[in-house]
Amino acid sequence: MTLLRMDNVLLVVEDLERAIAFFAELGMELEGQTTVEGQAVDRLIGLQGVRADLVSMRTPDGHGRIELDKFHTPPAIRAEPEDAPVNSFGIRRSMFAVDDIEDVVTRLRTHGAELVGDLVQYEDSYRLCYVRGPSGIIVGLGEKVS
């Protein structure tokens, strides 16, 4: 038996519409939305009385996906500060390749995003930065330098 692929990464958010707008501005496309609840969902995730809205978004090439979840019941909890540093345990960021990093940062700032550090030139190959978006989510952006 072999691993076939990674399907998506789950991001729990406070404001679903804000998160959708942020990732749409990044260039991701809405793939679908639904509400989940019931015994199967409760058993799957080990919580009782779950009711959550889920949104699936994909990268333009169709290979990368994120799932944005807004929990209504039980309410989501914050396990760490919203501004947790990049060296905190757990999933810290998702990395996206872009063709104009400054344009993307400017557009994401209109959705409340802030640079975590600086936009830097890494050797002769990439321009890179980390951006903090809705619910403290960190995305990495990379532009290949030719």
What does the pLDDT read at residue 48? 97
Mean pLDDT, range 25-38, rounded to an integer:
97
Dihedral (CA of 141, 31, 33, 74) sign: negative
What does the pLDDT read at residue 9? 94
Q: Is the peptide bond before 85 cis (omega within 30 degrees of 0)?
A: no
Beta strands in the chain (DSSP E): 9-12, 29-37, 51-58, 65-73, 94-97, 114-115, 120-122, 126-132, 138-144
pLDDT, tens only, 52-68? 999 999 999 999 999 99
pLDDT, tens only, 75-134? 999 888 888 888 888 888 999 999 999 999 999 999 999 999 999 999 999 999 999 999
What does the pLDDT read at residue 125? 94
What does the pLDDT read at residue 21? 97
pLDDT, tens only, 33-42? 999 999 999 9
What does the pLDDT read at residue 140? 96
Q: Is the pLDDT of residue 1 over 80?
A: no
pTM: 0.92
Question: How crowded is residue 6: how many other Cβ atoms within 10 Å of its Cβ?
Answer: 9
Contacts of 95 (CB under 8 A, 6+ apart): 139, 140, 141, 142
What does the pLDDT read at residue 4? 80
> Do residues 130 and 116 touch, judged by C-beta distance below 8 A?
yes
* CA 39/CA 32 separation, integer angstroms: 22
* CA 67/CA 19 separation, integer angstroms: 11
Using 50, 70 and 90 to split pLDDT, how confident is the model at 15? very high
